[in-house]
Structure 1
Amino acid sequence: MMVQLVDVVMKATRPMRSKVGLSIVISALALLSLTSWSLKSAEVDPNQLKFPQQYDSWQATEEQTERDDILAQYPANIILWAGSSFAKEYHSPRGHQFAVADVTHTLRTGVAIAEGDKGLSASCWTCKTPDAPRLIKEMGIQGFSGANFVDLGREIKSVVYCSDCHVDGSAELALPRPHAQNAMAKIKLPFDQQDRSMQGAQVCGQCHVSYYFQPENNNKVNIPWIFGSTADAIEKYYDTRRFYEWIHPISKTPILKARHPEFEHWSRSVHAKQGVTCITCHMPPATDEKGATFTDHKVGGALDNFDRSCASCHSSEAAITKKLDKTKANIDAKSRNVESLLIKAHYEAKAAWDAGATWPQMNDAIMAIRHSQWRWDFATASHGMYAHNPKEGIELLDKSTEQVTYAREALARILSQLSVTEVEYPDYSTKEKAHAAIGFIEADAIKAKQAFIKQEVDKYWQPVAKKGY
Structure 2
Amino acid sequence: MINLLVEVMMKASRPLRTKVGLGVLTVGLALLTFTSWSLQSAEVDPNQIKFPNQFDSWQATVEQEEREDMLAQYPASIILWAGSSFAKEYHSPRGHQFAVADVTHTLRTGVAIAEGDKGLSASCWTCKTPDAPRLMKEMGIEGYSGANFVDLGREIKSVVYCSDCHIDGSEKLALPRPHAQDAMAKIKLPFDKQDSTMQGAQVCGQCHVSYYFQPENNNKVNIPWIFGNTADTIEKYYDTRRFYEWIHPISKTPILKARHPEFEHWSRSTHAKKGVTCITCHMPETKDDQGNAFTDHKVAGAMDNFEQACSSCHGSKSAMVKKLDKIKANIDAKARNVESLLVQAHYEAKAAWDAGATWPQMNDSIMAIRHAQWRWDFAMASHGLYAHNPKEGVELLDMATEQITYGREALARVLNQLSVEKVEYPDYSTKEKAHAAIGFIEADAIKAKQAFIKEEVDKHWQPVAKTGY
Same fold (TM over 0.5): yes
The aligned runs of 1:107-118 (5 Å cut-off) are: 107-118=107-118
Q: Does 1:296 align with 2:320?
A: no
Percent identity, aligned pairs only, is: 82
Residue of structure 2 equivalent to 1:77 = 77
Q: CA deviation at 1:38?
A: 2.0
Residue of structure 1 equivalent to 2:406 = 406
Contact 1:76 1:339 in 2 (8 A): yes
Contact 1:61 1:97 in 2 (8 A): yes
Contact 1:331 1:393 in 2 (8 A): yes
Residue of structure 2 equivalent to 1:226 = 226
What letter corresponds to residue 205 of structure 2 in structure 1?
A: G
Distance 2:392 2:114 in 1: 43
Residue of structure 2 equivalent to 1:369 = 369
Q: Does 1:200 align with 2:195?
A: no
Residue of structure 1 equivalent to 2:334 = 334
What letter corresponds to residue 106 of structure 1 in structure 2?
A: T
Residue of structure 1 equivalent to 2:421 = 421
Q: CA deviation at 1:309?
A: 1.3
Distance 1:305 1:464 in 2: 28
Q: Does 1:447 align with 2:447?
A: yes
Distance 1:374 1:332 in 2: 16
Distance 2:21 2:309 in 1: 65
DSSP 3-state at the match of 2:140: helix
Per-residue displacement from partner, 1:196-217 (whole Å, max 9, x unpaired)? Answer: 0110000000000000000010
Distance 2:119 2:461 in 1: 18
Aligned CA distance change for structure 1 residues 402 and 37 (closer, same or farther; 3 Å): same
Residue of structure 2 equivalent to 1:52 = 52
Residue of structure 2 equivalent to 1:171 = 171
DSSP 3-state at the match of 1:294: strand
Per-residue displacement from partner, 1:287-316 (whole Å, max 9, x unpaired)? Answer: 100011100000010011210110011011
Residue of structure 2 equivalent to 1:460 = 460
Contact 1:121 1:219 in 2 (8 A): yes
Residue of structure 2 equivalent to 1:396 = 396
Per-residue displacement from partner, 1:305-336 (whole Å, max 9, x unpaired)? Answer: 21011001101111111111110000000000
Residue of structure 2 equivalent to 1:125 = 125
Per-residue displacement from partner, 1:405-429 (whole Å, max 9, x unpaired)? Answer: 0100000000000011110000000
Distance 1:6 1:310 in 2: 52
What letter corresponds to residue 202 of structure 2 in structure 1?
A: Q
Residue of structure 2 equivalent to 1:187 = 187
Distance 1:32 1:221 in 2: 50
Residue of structure 1 equivalent to 2:358 = 358
Q: CA deviation at 1:31?
A: 2.5
Distance 1:9 1:62 in 2: 39
After the TM superposition, list the runs of 4 or more consecutive aligned residues in structure 1 that deviate by more than 2 angstroms: 1-11, 13-25
Stretches of structure 2 that go unaligned for 5 or more consecutive residues are none
Residue of structure 2 equivalent to 1:249 = 249
Q: CA deviation at 1:369?
A: 0.5
Q: CA deviation at 1:116?
A: 1.9
Q: Does 1:161 align with 2:161?
A: yes
DSSP 3-state at the match of 1:440: coil
Distance 2:384 2:7 in 1: 57
What letter corresponds to residue 58 of structure 2 in structure 1?
A: W
Distance 1:336 1:16 in 2: 80
The aligned runs of 1:38-49 (5 Å cut-off) are: 38-49=38-49
Distance 2:29 2:389 in 1: 64
The aligned runs of 1:74-113 (5 Å cut-off) are: 74-113=74-113
Q: Does 1:62 align with 2:62?
A: yes
Count matched residues: 468
Residue of structure 2 equivalent to 1:146 = 146
Q: CA deviation at 1:20?
A: 4.8
Stretches of structure 1 that go unaligned for 5 or more consecutive residues are none
Distance 1:44 1:352 in 2: 64
Distance 1:39 1:83 in 2: 51
Distance 1:306 1:176 in 2: 31
Per-residue displacement from partner, 1:138-161 (whole Å, max 9, x unpaired)? Answer: 111011000000000011111101
Distance 1:10 1:135 in 2: 51
Alignment RMSD (CA, Å): 1.8
What letter corresponds to residue 188 of structure 1 in structure 2?
A: K
Residue of structure 2 equivalent to 1:32 = 32
DSSP 3-state at the match of 2:291: coil
Q: CA deviation at 1:19?
A: 3.6
Distance 1:329 1:17 in 2: 77
Per-residue displacement from partner, 1:216-253 (whole Å, max 9, x unpaired)? Answer: 10000000000000000000000000000000000000
Distance 2:202 2:242 in 1: 29
Distance 1:304 1:23 in 2: 58
Distance 1:281 1:8 in 2: 53
Q: CA deviation at 1:23?
A: 2.4
Distance 2:361 2:45 in 1: 64
Q: CA deviation at 1:29?
A: 2.1
Q: CA deviation at 1:5?
A: 10
Distance 1:14 1:288 in 2: 45
DSSP 3-state at the match of 1:422: coil
Which range moves more in the overlay, 25-34 or 63-72?
Answer: 25-34
Distance 2:180 2:167 in 1: 16
DSSP 3-state at the match of 1:208: coil
Which range moves more in the overlay, 34-43 or 63-72?
Answer: 34-43
DSSP 3-state at the match of 1:286: strand
Distance 1:16 1:437 in 2: 79
Q: CA deviation at 1:24?
A: 3.9
What letter corresponds to residue 83 of structure 2 in structure 1?
A: G
Per-residue displacement from partner, 1:23-59 (whole Å, max 9, x unpaired)? Answer: 2441232122122112212211111111111111111
Contact 1:158 1:464 in 2 (8 A): yes
What letter corresponds to residue 157 of structure 2 in structure 1?
A: K
Contact 1:10 1:25 in 2 (8 A): no
